[in-house]
Amino acid sequence: MIEFIEAFILLLVIMDPPLSISVLLSLIKRKKIKNKMQIIKKGVMVAAIVFFVFAIAGDFLLNLMGVNIETFRAAGGIILVILGVQMVLGLSFNKIDKASDISVIIGTPLITGPAVIMATILLVKGVGLVTTLFAGICALLVTFVSIVFAVKINDILGDGGIRMISTMMGIVTIAWGIEFLLTGVIGFL
């Protein structure tokens, strides 16, 4: 049970629902309410597909490319540290093309980006496929509910509240990133 809770929290923090809410709100300001729900559903579906592919076939893909799991763990730790710094400082390294399909952008890289992919592969190795899938499904459900209620959450918390939550999640992400990096380096040596 503890492994599930840790996996769930890790995936949820990396998916960062507050960030998804703020980006979603900026991307769909002028869309009709009916379209917003379709965009949200499709976005979370895209995120789920990416998550499942890497949960099930991630190890195979690593082996196919000849990447050592400890090296991947260290590289993933670096990605988590960078993601955490982005969350803490409110930075963004990728530009969102407004002309692109908004739901795909929300699905990946926003919800299930490189850090979630890396964490998913490592979780399958560490806690097993079933625990990882269950934790991922729960994290996706929480993210979906958060995005569905994005407007209400934004009204309640305001931009400052969402920013504060994202900052706290960023600090935790940095800590996990450093732990992954050190574990990977020690495991490789």
| Domain assignment present for 143 | yes
Residue count of the chain: 189
| Domain assignment present for 26 | no
- For 159, the domain range is 2-13+31-188
| Domain assignment present for 164 | yes
Question: In which residue are the tokens 């574990």 written?
Answer: 183
How far is the C-alpha of 171 from the C-alpha of 177, rounded, in Å?
10
Could you list the pLDDT tens digit for every one of the 189 residues in the chain? 899 999 999 999 888 887 777 667 766 665 666 677 888 899 999 999 999 999 999 888 888 988 887 787 788 788 778 877 877 887 766 555 544 577 887 888 778 877 888 899 989 989 999 999 999 999 999 999 988 887 677 778 777 777 777 788 778 778 878 887 888 889 888
Q: What percent of the chain has pLDDT over 70?
A: 87
| Domain assignment present for 24 | no
Q: How far apart, in Å, are the Cα atoms of 116 and each of 20, 26, 141, 185? A: 14, 23, 15, 20
pLDDT one-digit tens code per residue, 148-176: 887 677 778 777 777 777 788 778 778 87
The total number of structural domains that make up the chain: 1
| Domain assignment present for 117 | yes
DSSP, collapsed to helix, strand or coil, labels residue 186 as helix
DSSP, collapsed to helix, strand or coil, labels residue 40 as helix
3-state DSSP percent of the chain in helix, strand and coil, to 5: 85, 0, 15
Kindly tell me the sign of the dihedral angle through the C-alpha atoms of 169, 170, 172, 176. Answer: positive
| Domain assignment present for 96 | yes
In contact, 143 and 12? CB cutoff 8 Å: yes
